[in-house]
């Protein structure tokens, strides 16, 4: 029993050290590849760009669509988590529980899919990036590793694919349509959305103005 406990203690300590080193490394170095990219049967098209080369409209659209409290929370939107837990207890489909910070932690360090074990690891990495990276770096990494289409990752690759120009000059509606597709990029059309998806994109485009007016993206540009 003592040997088992000692082994588990060493394994836990090793994991903590390794995770800290990885988070520190990616604080400064672009993320080269993720598990999601490696497991994508469609290949990988990506082009890392610093946040200064990504239009602020896309930052605002991501906040408007995915995480309106991005600048207010510490990585966890507790109200959204509680709402998700209530819906889970009722047997409904859980939506809106994960923040941009949590999605970034999952995308960079973990794998897709659910499960309490992965959620626990996600919480740990979310805590680390919030305290080591800060909001600007989290947003920069998120917009560079998020899946933006079939085999397409990051804002620049997505902008080039759908609009044939750089992510440095996205109009509000272009940014909104990219943000609308983020949850299901393989299923949601960016270039020619119809019906509900077009209306959803228009709502996000309108919310971009709210994010700008209320400075909900201020932490990214401090």
Instruction: Walk along the chain (222 residues) in steps of 10 and give the mean pLDDT of each run.
Output: 88 96 98 95 95 98 96 90 70 67 97 86 97 98 96 96 96 96 89 89 96 97 90
Residue 9 lies in a domain: yes
Kindly report the length of the chain: 222
Residue 69 lies in a domain: yes
pTM tops 0.85, yes or no:
yes
Domain count, the chain: 1
CA dist 74 → 3, 14, 77, 100, 121 (Å): 38, 26, 8, 11, 16
Biggest CA–CA distance in the chain, Å, is: 62
Residue 193 lies in a domain: yes
Residue 93 lies in a domain: yes
For residue 95, the model assigns a pLDDT of 54
Residue 37 lies in a domain: no
For residue 88, the model assigns a pLDDT of 63
């Amino acid at each position: 029993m003592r040997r088992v406990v000692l082994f588990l203690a060493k394994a836990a300590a090793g994991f903590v050290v390794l995770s800290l080193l990885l988070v520190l490394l990616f604080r400064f170095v672009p993320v080269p590849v993720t598990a999601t990219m490696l497991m994508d049967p469609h290949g990988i098209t990506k082009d890392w760009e610093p946040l200064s080369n990504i239009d602020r409209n896309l930052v605002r659209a991501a906040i408007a669509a995915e995480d309106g409290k991005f600048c207010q929370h510490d990585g966890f939107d507790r109200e959204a988590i509680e709402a998700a837990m209530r819906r889970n207890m009722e047997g409904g489909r859980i939506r809106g529980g994960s923040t941009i910070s949590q999605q970034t932690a999952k995308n960079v360090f973990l794998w897709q899919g659910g499960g309490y074990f992965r959620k626990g690891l996600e919480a740990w990495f979310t805590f680390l990036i919030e305290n080591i990276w800060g909001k600007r770096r989290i947003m920069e990494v998120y917009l560079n590793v998020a899946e933006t289409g079939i085999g397409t990752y990051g804002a620049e690759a997505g902008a080039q694919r759908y609009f044939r120009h750089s992510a440095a000059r996205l109009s509000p509606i272009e940014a909104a349509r990219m943000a609308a597709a983020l949850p299901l990029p393989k299923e949601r059309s960016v270039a020619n959305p119809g019906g509900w998806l077009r209306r959803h994109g228009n709502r996000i485009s309108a919310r971009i103005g709210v994010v700008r007016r209320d400075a909900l993206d201020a932490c990214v540009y401090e």
